[in-house]
Structure 1
Amino acid sequence: MGRISFSCLFPASWHFSLPSQSLPRLLLPSSRQLLFIGLLLFFLGVCYLLLVTGKLPASWTTKGNSFHRHLARVSDVDATDASNPDLSYGLVVDCGSSGSRVYVYCWPSHNGNPHELLDIRQMRDQNGKSVVMKIKPGISKMAETPEKASDYIHPLLSFAAEHIPKNKHIETPLYILCTAGMRILPESQQEAILEDLRTDIPVNFDFLFSDSHVEVISGKLEGVYAWIGINFVLGKFNHAHNDDDAVVEVNIPGSDHQEALVRKRTAGVLDMGGVSTQIAFEVPKSVSFASPQQEEVAKNLLAEFNLGCDAHRTDHVYRVYVSTFLGFGGNAARQTYEESLVKNTTTRNKLLGQHVGEMAAAPLLDPCLPTDLRDQIGSPEQKLHVLGTGDFDQCRRALQPFLNRTNETQTSLNGVFQPPIDYNNSQFFGFSEFYYCTEDVLRMGGDYNASKYAQAAKSYCATQWGTLRERFDAGLFASHADLHRLQYQCFKSAWMYEVLHSGFSFPPDYKNLKTAFLVYDKEVQWTLGAILFRTRFLPLRDIQQESLKGLHSHWRHSFSFVNNHYLFLVCFFIVLLSIILYMLRLRRIHRRAAQRCSPSSVPWLEEGLGSPTLPIHL
């Protein structure tokens, strides 16, 4: 087999030779080379598809045109992880009549859904206990020395500051809200106390605090906050509902032409303390009034507010009726009742020349005390001896005049306006005396049944006082029930029943009332509703910040994607162009070789003979 020298194609210094049969393999790509080039192009195409259809990191999801991180909900019972940088904090100081209490709340960053509220929970220490501190007496005691108000409240804020990370203080809102104790003070004394707080607190603490963050709130607003807090814990503001959830049609206030919004039914609140009784519930439909005077009164009892973060959205707009009745609490009602007994008995004794109740041997009979219970009522100057007869029904009838009901439509206690309640589609929770009256002695807390409750109360009232004392000593009643509860349980049972059914007009067969002390195993304070309402615009700020971050991230991602896309195309065409140029180069080399070599040499090449013009190596 002959060999060919390529000295005619290359400089003399590049002299080399190949077998003549190798020339076609060198000049034209083989099938293996074509297969390799095809696989290379296929691999680059797959990379291109992966690049085009690639997804964002799994820790991000898209909602609309923004990006939102999934953040874990704050636990209700676990210790709060103060090292978590995503947690925010807030403080509410409840300045009540008997003392002041600070509550520390926390929440993670908003999830970005404008339909949802902040996930606020009470902060818990390392032992899982709520971060709360209380001091006595009430801040109203500073009325004569208002310059000491900030010193009075300093221990509460110092306590809170120790639990909140130092770097979070500057962004932690602080609200100081005063209630009943401050309301009874003259306005000048109120303002002097508030001014001292506004001036001195920013000097000593770095919390987010402004003049509007300290104020005396009305009883109506306190009731609204309580309603918000309870419904938030119950999950009533989460409008996503299942088929089993109770719903209600709501006509949004101020949007008369808008179609009714269907959302979860909220819960009403009944609360009877020692001095006052309160009722609060959502009014889903527009209310008609019997008279212009009633409409004017209703304006002070109906609260319309937007709990959502966006004022332009209406899915969290609520119309809530709140009414507080001073003097209608359990202890205040008993005092009013006793004063009436003393006054009426004294007057009757004078008119008839009797001495009823003036001596223990001739006591005044009281149907609202357990059978054979002896007690003394009135002042030292005008004291009466009473003896319980334990007649529940008679006690109820005796208490009805103290409700001050009128014959006007849509009214309740004291003739106060009350919008109609859809008893067939409503739910109420009863707290304080509504719970104590049903649970402490009767052990019937929870789902309320009027007939069973009345029967149990009737049986209790009719029981001999000596028997009740024996049961008490045997520990058959609730652990926190005391002798005062036993003595006045009959009266309070009847008073609660009348307030509920005669005052608020709940039908005797109403089945949707639950009496409770805790909601989901925790006490719900009105301060939770206050922090929810006062921070309602923070989610919008978070949403806007997240949107800006998301837009920036999306721009960076798009910019990176465009760069990678064109970079790939450039690389792809460079490789393709290189392959084409390489093949053209080979063809050109092949043509030059054919032109510069003698045509007569071709048969010799085929026959393995050397050309006379080319050196032959044998």
Structure 2
Amino acid sequence: MARYLARVGELEATDTEDPNLNYGLVVDCGSSGSRIFVYFWPRHNGNPHDLLDIKQMRDRNSQPVVKKIKPGISAMADTPEHASDYLRPLLSFAAAHVPVKKHKETPLYILCTAGMRLLPERKQLAILADLVKDLPLEFDFLFSQSQAEVISGKQEGVYAWIGINFVLGRFDHEDESDAEAPQELAAGRRRTVGILDMGGASLQIAYEVPTSTSVLPPQQEEAAKILLAEFNLGCDVQHTEHVYRVYVTTFLGFGGNFARQRYEDLVLNETLNKNRLLGQKTGLSPDNPFLDPCLPVGLTDVVERNSQVLHVRGKGDWATCGAMLSPLLARSNASQASLNGIYQSPIDFNNSEFYGFSEFFYCTEDVLRIGGRYHGPTFAKAAQDYCGMAWSVLTQRFKNGLFSSHADEHRLKYQCFKSAWMYQVLHEGFHFPYDYPNLQTAQLVYDREVQWTLGAILYKTRFLPLRDLRQEGVRQAHGSWFRLSFVYNHYLFFACILVVLLAIILYLLRLRRIHHRQTRASAPLDMLWIEEVVPMMGVQVGP
């Protein structure tokens, strides 16, 4: 119940009047645009085993505080002196939401991804240099040269993995009787989840691997070192419960849209070559189209590459489509290789859990309406049935609102291809069993979209709890000293009273002895005086 209430609380407006809240900013400088995310967290609870409780800030209307601008920052490649001007709207937006008195202690991270990676290094450095030089002149955020950088695809994947597992509570190592609590590993450590993310241009996989792996041939061992990331999310390097070892790989060209382009290139070249060899005219006119098994039945389309044109018509044969896509996986004969012959760390499919995002969710939910828990045979049957439908039937169903509100004509047109591609990537490329039961396709986690920027700020601020831990230690030490001093003073007070009483008693006893001694010394003198007086009283006067 406590975790459920915490998730509900995350959807409420952030209390900017709370002086105990801290803030942080992350700018995601992507290829098509840049977005700024505002995060906040309360003071650390003082337990060195816990991470900061970071959440995305929400405005008065309980909406996430995020702003996006276009184009990407890489558009400043030839005019790097305008890079800070480009980001000004984002930082002004954040400055208006973060309390002014918190600006000087609010860290700012500017992290650039794919678009900037494509630029020459000198142009990257020129853009970053302008940001570091000019932004501090206008904004008071905590910002230094090391906080503006171009991150690798590997870093981006690690941050995404951190963000998902943090939101799912997989870094909480406390014992809970929660029905949703995942299976725990040794020493009470929770099992983390792996992520699969297929975008339009690239594909990414990330999952935790055991610290001890089997002995590999030298070539594979070298590849494994490149693809593995080991890091400590905890604030104390001496504590290892938050040390994770993650395999992460990004495959450029394996996203859904880019894979379609590669497939069309393959079909175009093979068909035209066959035409030349056999004297055929397949695909050269609408009357003699190439029958594409990866498009719905009856759908017509045109593939154009430079001056070459190929007319196609959907055949709707999902199984044949999958077979034609197999060469695009570029697998090798190596036992531990996945797509493109890249080394893949072993996955324990009997004790693992994965979340699939982007195309993994769109392919299962937008038109098939079976998103959520993935079941291979069920998905294959639904995808095959969809592919076999006439295009006219599909468009009519779309008009009748039988598909998801997110579905559009592009989704209807390429669903057959993308579902086959996703299936091939998952089972033939990454070697997931066809009946693998622990893949969850999702767009939101606990009703919110999880960005890799959350993982980035968790990692970047991992040492901040040390400040609160030191303050807590000083406070506890002061409290202990005060309690000890209080007890000591009480004992000292009573001891003083006892000493005074003892001194009084001794003084009285001494007086009593002195008085007794004086009494005994004066007794003979009294007798002598009596003896002298009494005879005188008995003397007669006269004869």
TM-score (norm 1): 0.79
Q: Alpha-carbon deviations, 1:328-370, whole Å to 9, x = none?
A: 0000000000011111111111111111111111110011001
Counterpart in the other structure of 2:243: 317
The alpha carbon displacement at 1:262 in A equals: 5.0
Counterpart in the other structure of 1:89: 23
The reply to whether residue 227 of structure 1 matches residue 161 of structure 2 is yes
Letter in 2 for 1:156: L
| Segment drifting more, 543-552 vs 195-204 | 543-552
Letter in 2 for 1:113: N
- CA distance in 2 between counterparts of 1:402 and 1:248 reads 38
The reply to whether residue 432 of structure 1 matches residue 358 of structure 2 is yes
Counterpart in the other structure of 1:607: none
Q: Alpha-carbon deviations, 1:412-438, whole Å to 9, x = none?
A: 000100011000000000000000000
The alpha carbon displacement at 1:201 in A equals: 1.3
The reply to whether residue 189 of structure 1 matches residue 123 of structure 2 is yes
The reply to whether residue 160 of structure 1 matches residue 160 of structure 2 is no
Which of 450, 466, 469 in structure 2 is aligned with 1:543? 469
The alpha carbon displacement at 1:492 in A equals: 0.3
Report the number of matched residues: 513
- CA distance in 2 between counterparts of 1:374 and 1:431 reads 30
The reply to whether residue 129 of structure 1 matches residue 63 of structure 2 is yes
The reply to whether residue 561 of structure 1 matches residue 456 of structure 2 is no
Determine if contact 2:13/2:58 at 8 Å carries over to the other structure: yes
Check 1:136–1:579 CA distance in 2 against 1; reply closer, same or farther (3 A cut): farther
Determine if contact 1:74/1:119 at 8 Å carries over to the other structure: no
Give structure 1 stretches of 5+ with no counterpart: 1-71, 250-259, 587-618
Which of 42, 49, 52 in structure 2 is aligned with 1:115? 49
The alpha carbon displacement at 1:383 in A equals: 1.2
The reply to whether residue 103 of structure 1 matches residue 37 of structure 2 is yes
Check 1:518–1:582 CA distance in 2 against 1; reply closer, same or farther (3 A cut): farther
Q: Alpha-carbon deviations, 1:4-30, whole Å to 9, x = none?
A: xxxxxxxxxxxxxxxxxxxxxxxxxxx
Counterpart in the other structure of 2:412: 486
The alpha carbon displacement at 1:544 in A equals: 1.4
Check 1:181–1:584 CA distance in 2 against 1; reply closer, same or farther (3 A cut): same
The alpha carbon displacement at 1:90 in A equals: 0.7
- CA distance in 1 between counterparts of 2:440 and 2:412 reads 22
Determine if contact 2:281/2:288 at 8 Å carries over to the other structure: yes
The reply to whether residue 378 of structure 1 matches residue 304 of structure 2 is yes
Counterpart in the other structure of 1:12: none
Counterparts of 1:14-413 in structure 2, within 5 Å, are 75-242=9-176, 245-247=181-183, 249=185, 261=187, 263-379=189-305, 381-413=307-339
Letter in 2 for 1:142: M
Determine if contact 1:74/1:107 at 8 Å carries over to the other structure: no
Letter in 2 for 1:76: E
The alpha carbon displacement at 1:166 in A equals: 1.5
Determine if contact 1:110/1:539 at 8 Å carries over to the other structure: yes
Q: Alpha-carbon deviations, 1:459-481, whole Å to 9, x = none?
A: 00001111101100011101111
Determine if contact 1:241/1:264 at 8 Å carries over to the other structure: no
SS in 2 for 1:264: coil
Counterpart in the other structure of 1:501: 427
The alpha carbon displacement at 1:552 in A equals: 2.1
Counterpart in the other structure of 1:603: none
Counterpart in the other structure of 2:529: none
Letter in 1 for 2:421: W
Counterpart in the other structure of 1:35: none
Q: Alpha-carbon deviations, 1:208-227, whole Å to 9, x = none?
A: 11110000000000000000
Check 1:582–1:126 CA distance in 2 against 1; reply closer, same or farther (3 A cut): farther
Counterpart in the other structure of 1:4: none
Letter in 1 for 2:157: G
Determine if contact 1:356/1:364 at 8 Å carries over to the other structure: yes
Determine if contact 2:14/2:59 at 8 Å carries over to the other structure: yes
Check 1:568–1:136 CA distance in 2 against 1; reply closer, same or farther (3 A cut): farther
Counterpart in the other structure of 1:514: 440
Give structure 2 stretches of 5+ with no counterpart: 1-5, 513-543
Letter in 1 for 2:451: Q
The alpha carbon displacement at 1:573 in A equals: 7.3
Over the matched positions of the two proteins, sequence identity in percent amounts to: 61
Counterpart in the other structure of 2:524: none
- CA distance in 2 between counterparts of 1:453 and 1:187 reads 44
SS in 2 for 1:376: strand
Determine if contact 2:174/2:188 at 8 Å carries over to the other structure: no
Counterpart in the other structure of 1:23: none
Counterpart in the other structure of 1:9: none
Letter in 1 for 2:117: R
The alpha carbon displacement at 1:78 in A equals: 1.2
Letter in 1 for 2:77: A
Check 1:242–1:552 CA distance in 2 against 1; reply closer, same or farther (3 A cut): closer
Work out which of the two has the higher radius of gyration on C-alpha atoms and give 1 or 2.
1
| Root-mean-square deviation (Å) | 2.6
The alpha carbon displacement at 1:288 in A equals: 3.0
Determine if contact 1:73/1:119 at 8 Å carries over to the other structure: no
SS in 2 for 1:117: coil
Determine if contact 1:248/1:284 at 8 Å carries over to the other structure: no
Q: Alpha-carbon deviations, 1:519-552, whole Å to 9, x = none?
A: 1110000000000000001112211121122212
SS in 1 for 2:68: strand
TM-score (norm 2): 0.89
Determine if contact 2:193/2:352 at 8 Å carries over to the other structure: yes
Check 1:96–1:317 CA distance in 2 against 1; reply closer, same or farther (3 A cut): same
The alpha carbon displacement at 1:389 in A equals: 1.0
| Segment drifting more, 374-383 vs 229-238 | 374-383
